[in-house]
Amino acid sequence: MIGIEATSIYEPEGKETAAELSYKTTIPEQVIIEKFGLCEKRIAPEHMHTSDLAIAAGKKILENIDPKTIDVVIYFGSPFKDYQIWTASSKIQHELGTSNAYAFELMNVSSCFPIAVKVAKDMLYSDENINNILLVGGTKESMTINYDNPRSRFMFNFADGGAAALVTKNATKSEILASSIITDGSFSKDVLVPGGGSVNPVSLEVVQQKMHYIDVPNPASMKERLDPVSIPNFTNVIKQSIERSGLTLEDLKVLLPLHTKKSMFKEMLDHVGLREEQAIYLTHHGHMSALDPCYGLYLAEERGLLKKGDIAVMVSAGTGYTWAATALRWFG
């Protein structure tokens, strides 16, 4: 049985509260808590980088399994890493002592965890030489926000952390079921870091204009086009992952979504017939790029939310724009 056998998270000790974010953004504290669903988020120390956060999470899983039994290490975290052109996966493979594993990276910003789980499952199914795959991710995207930019400072929920998941052919805790993925490339330039790439190479002007921070060139246009399709696409990938697993939406018991504003979270639940207590909402963590659904799975197990036989769906979306969901049957 191919499934997720273990998950782990790494929570940096530093915190930024809603009150502190209110001062930075000029958004009232109660609006941040009630509308945006954020009480606080974690902030990594200066000396810890994206790869370090992923390694810290991976080490927790490897306390209970020999690192040399890992066949593949896949980095699924933030594209904002220690260095611009660099494979974090190579450093992670080495630092974790997974010397028998080869390593590579999947990068699809916030939508990547459900996709990485699908890729790991497909690799295990198709290759008899692979038995254990370690998914590892880190993010330090709190550094990418320019609070002086009114176009993009609504992304103040971007936070830091590390997460990992062990996907194996010999699973006892869960079975990975089907996935569904939708991409709408018409949003490809709506959210980006304009400076530092080949279009706007690093220069004094790029730094002076703060083009090395994340930006939304036209928020009104993005909202006008995104609002009509966002919830329908979330709903479609959740439903399709369930239906492709040979189940119906009534079988869904737990949702593990990315962190979004509270209204979108509630609307997503309404469309799939779940109550708030049947989902993990990261009010004290914020949005951690692709890590959110992995955090959700870890916290759902820790809190006893998942019962034997439950069907859960890990769902996320990333700018670009891609919506992705993968279903899971839990055995505990």
Query: pLDDT digits over 64-80, tens only?
Result: 999 999 999 999 999 99
Quote the tokens at residue 240: 């399709």
Per the listing, tokens 């190479």 go with 201
Task: Tell me what percent of the residues of the chain surpass a pLDDT of 70.
Answer: 100
The whole-chain average pLDDT of the chain stands at 97
Helices 50-61, 88-95: inter-axial angle, 10-degree rounding: 40
3-state secondary structure the chain: CCEEEEEEEECCCEEEEHHHHHHHHCCCHHHHHHCCCCCEEEECCCCCCHHHHHHHHHHHHCCCCCHHHCCEEEECCCCCCCCCCCCHHHHHHHHCCCCCCEEEECCCHHHHHHHHHHHHHHHHHHCCCCCEEEEEEEEEHHHHCCCCCCCCHHHCCECEEEEEEEEECCCCCEEEEEEEEEECHHHCCCCECCCCCCCCCCCHHHHHCCCCCCECCCHHHHHHHHHHHHHHHHHHHHHHHHHCCCCCHHHEEEEEECCCCHHHHHHHHHHHCCCHHHECCCCCCCECHHHHHHHHHHHHHHCCCCCCCCEEEEEEEECCCEEEEEEEEECC
Question: Do residues 193 and 209 touch, judged by C-beta distance below 8 A?
Answer: no
- Residue 254 is predicted with a pLDDT of 98
- List Cβ neighbours of 173 (8 Å cut-off, separation of 6 or more): 3, 4, 5, 6, 330, 331, 332
Average pLDDT over residues 234-263: 98
Quick check: 42 pLDDT over 90?
yes
Would residue 309 be called left, alpha or beta, if left means φ above 0 and alpha means ψ between -120 and 50 degrees? left
Identify the pLDDT of residue 250: 97
**Quick one: pLDDT at residue 112?**
98
pLDDT of 305: 98
Omega before residue 102 within 30° of 0, cis: no
- CB-based contact 74:105 (threshold 8 Å): yes
pTM for this prediction = 0.97
Q: Quick check: 236 pLDDT over 90?
A: yes
Count, residues in the chain: 332
Which residue ranges make up each domain of the chain?
3-171, 176-188+217-330
Say whether 176-188+217-330 and 3-171 share the same fold.
yes
* Per-residue pLDDT band at 332 (split at 50, 70, 90): confident
Bridge pairing between strands 40-43 and 72-75? unpaired
Q: pLDDT tens, 262-288?
A: 999 999 999 999 999 999 999 999 999
Mean pLDDT of 220-247: 98
C-alpha span between 329 and 76 (Å, rounded): 22
What pLDDT, on the 0 to 100 scale, is given for residue 264? 97
Q: What is the pLDDT of residues 149-202, one digit of tens each?
A: 999 989 999 999 999 999 999 999 999 999 999 999 999 999 999 999 999 999
pLDDT digits (tens, 9 = 90+) for 112-146: 999 999 999 999 999 999 999 999 999 999 999 99
The fold of the 3-171 domain, in CATH, is: Peroxisomal Thiolase; Chain A, domain 1 (3.40.47)
Overall average pLDDT of the 213-232 stretch: 97
CATH topology of domain 176-188+217-330: Peroxisomal Thiolase; Chain A, domain 1 (3.40.47)
Q: How far is CA 200 from the centre of its chain?
A: 28
Instruction: Summarize the confidence of residues 307-328 as an average pLDDT.
Output: 98
